[in-house]
Structure 1
């Protein structure tokens, strides 16, 4: 059984490398073409950034593959030999926490390079070392406290029920819903500075837009995202009473009122089309399948890893091998997501105007240096949003001239 999982991981690794090389070659050729969507200087810069990111991804994939071999070869069994605790839930908490912490330490150089070298080189990252350390300490605290509670909870379920995977799925699904509900509150209290919009005229326009589609929220906020990154973004965070509209300060600074309303109109399209509920449903189905698989693994798999079929081992095996299943489900999930994005564009352009949405997307692409062209296979697997070229075509614009053409 272990051999099947190892072969699947090798295929997952090989395909990751293959798609990255295909993407690099494609972007290198596309870079020679006349610039579209982006300004000429940013077109080349965006291509270079895309290529460097993929090169880093290739190195990271090889590194992850080596870690995978080391973990299943002797790492897990060695860690198991160090933790001689009779309490099943305490052993699970310590074992899984150490597994995650060791992995984080070993992959930290890639995070540091991406944040302080690559993203600073292309004018994205504003992260200061002190803020990085502060963020890391807060994240670590949340993980050790709440993550450990979740590990203890799922360990209790595994140890208490023969069909534990059904109850385990319900427990973890409820935890994820709770996290989504509390996310904006946690960000507000521990990481970001949320403020009511200073531009009262914009706030009134946004409130009117929300009321027009029946979206009720706890308010519209601006967040000081620029202290970490210069990229533009906005999102609807939270669920129920915690639901709020969050605008990055970089977005408020760069976009006009009408462009901002067009971006929010797109996001409201997801709300109006029920995409949030659909996504939660899809996530639930995928998680249920995962739990059904990992809840019925034979003892031979754990014997192959020199582990006992106990909560600590089941949780760790889940964490190691679930990315493989996620990867092979990715094309279907990405296809559904791209369909939803087209529908949200249509809704947003009708709510505001096509001109405002196109203008906003152009600014977002230029400021975020998003290269507009990618290899079809790369798009098929990794793109949750359609390429900008295709989005503009659906909105009726010729990307070569950016002139509107009635469809």
Structure 2
């Protein structure tokens, strides 16, 4: 142990203590409001649906607490407990090149962490989601998804890791800048390829049929000056009863995707309003702003790693005896979230601000009343609590709480 070990453990205790405290606040707040539908929703949400959302939120929170406890234990075992050091020593004993041994050690550790996370994922899917009527996945589908995710992670992640380690070994002191360029380029490439190459491996995307809904959506796109490569319905119902809609892709490879569950539950005017909200994110340049923000944060993070990689205390403080580029990369990836936890509310604040702006755009280009009714249906059908704890939501919610968001839309209706 050295001074950095103590700093790391203190930061870990503080960040997770706050996280557990916020989780307990959320559970207590939701439970205390379980028996009464908020005034703003009394005419649109039944008490039964409100209580279901409360119970679902509390159940997910309890599992999240267990998952966090496991995460803390695993992180301590891997770092100060010597797990990472043992993995690198094991691969070094195989008489491989340092780079190949580093790739093998990192891949092994991520596989172990994936397997450790598997029980909670299974419980979430086949116990909690099943209990509340959302799970549509079968054990066969779940296993298929797991193998496909691992195969994709290996096929895409391992070559990228090899390239990054080569840059770290070969470029010199500015390796972190070139790594940043590679990561940003890779991220943009994946965003462009995702709609047509990756997403279809998991779901079926069917072009929206001709009819009144498609005509309405195409009219909205024309009014907003938005071009896409098509409007698709995704078979989300084969895994879950939750509904959603999203844009995906970049440049000339953008797609509009509706979950089939969403299409089946909302009216055409409500779907138009939901889509107008998503269009608002593009028209307000939120995607570009978030890309710039994340790019700057990744650049700063890599610059910090560029300094830490030459500091012996960084390795020994986290249980690694033999410094290497691969070990530094892994340590930084696993440990940095402990020190950046308190940046979450800042990011969440700007994300909620963007949601308000997108709602403003939707209220101008579709019917705000239909946006409200569509949101209420989504809150009810997805069992999203209408009464989150204010402090918890400030830390964790990327969208404004239901009551605040709908009050904002109603104010836009009154001022129109």
Does structure 1 residue 219 correspond to structure 2 residue 230?
A: yes
Displacement of 1:189 = 3.2
Q: Which residue of 94, 102, 112 corresponds with 1:102?
A: 112
- 1:32 maps to which residue? 35
Does structure 1 residue 198 correspond to structure 2 residue 209?
A: yes
Displacement of 1:397 = 6.3
CA distance in 1 between partners of 2:337 and 2:241 (Å): 30
Note the 1:121-270 alignment, pairs <5 A: 121-160=131-170, 161-270=172-281
- 1:334 maps to which residue? 348
- 2:103 maps to which residue? 93
Displacement of 1:259 = 0.5
- Say whether the 8 Å CA contact 2:242–2:261 is kept in structure 1: yes
Q: Which residue of 322, 327, 330 corresponds with 1:313?
A: 327
Q: Which residue of 274, 278, 301 corresponds with 2:314?
A: 301
- Say whether the 8 Å CA contact 1:223–1:248 is kept in structure 2: yes
Displacement of 1:147 = 0.6
Displacement of 1:171 = 1.3
Which structure 2 residue ranges, 5 or more long, are not aligned?
Answer: none
CA distance in 2 between partners of 1:321 and 1:170 (Å): 23
Secondary structure of 1:8's match?
helix
- 1:351 maps to which residue? 365
Displacement of 1:406 = 5.4
- Say whether the 8 Å CA contact 1:92–1:152 is kept in structure 2: no
- Say whether the 8 Å CA contact 1:220–1:245 is kept in structure 2: yes
TM-score, scaled relative to structure 1: 0.95
- 1:285 maps to which residue? 296
Displacement of 1:270 = 0.7
Q: Which residue of 59, 70, 80 corresponds with 1:52?
A: 59
- Say whether the 8 Å CA contact 2:88–2:102 is kept in structure 1: no
Displacement of 1:363 = 0.8
Structure 1 residues 102-143: Cα deviation after superposition (integer angstroms, max 9, x where no partner): 001111100000011101111111010111111111111111
CA distance in 2 between partners of 1:267 and 1:135 (Å): 28
Which structure 1 residue ranges, 5 or more long, are not aligned?
Answer: 399-403
Does structure 1 residue 69 correspond to structure 2 residue 76?
A: yes
- Pick which of 289-298 and 127-136 moved more: 289-298
- Say whether the 8 Å CA contact 2:35–2:47 is kept in structure 1: no
Q: Which residue of 23, 26, 30 corresponds with 1:23?
A: 26
- Say whether the 8 Å CA contact 2:22–2:392 is kept in structure 1: yes
- Say whether the 8 Å CA contact 1:158–1:165 is kept in structure 2: yes
CA distance in 2 between partners of 1:340 and 1:74 (Å): 43
- Say whether the 8 Å CA contact 1:307–1:313 is kept in structure 2: no
- 1:401 maps to which residue? none
Secondary structure of 1:395's match?
helix
TM-score, scaled relative to structure 2: 0.93
- Pick which of 157-166 and 353-362 moved more: 157-166
- How many correspondences in the alignment? 402
CA distance in 2 between partners of 1:306 and 1:100 (Å): 17
CA distance in 1 between partners of 2:246 and 2:301 (Å): 28
Structure 1 residues 125-165: Cα deviation after superposition (integer angstroms, max 9, x where no partner): 10101111111111111111111011101101111221221
Displacement of 1:325 = 3.9
- Say whether the 8 Å CA contact 1:88–1:155 is kept in structure 2: no
Q: Judging changes above 3 Å, is the alpha-carbon distance between structure 1 residues 41 and 405 closer, same or farther for their aligned structure 2 residues? A: farther
- Pick which of 88-97 and 120-129 moved more: 88-97
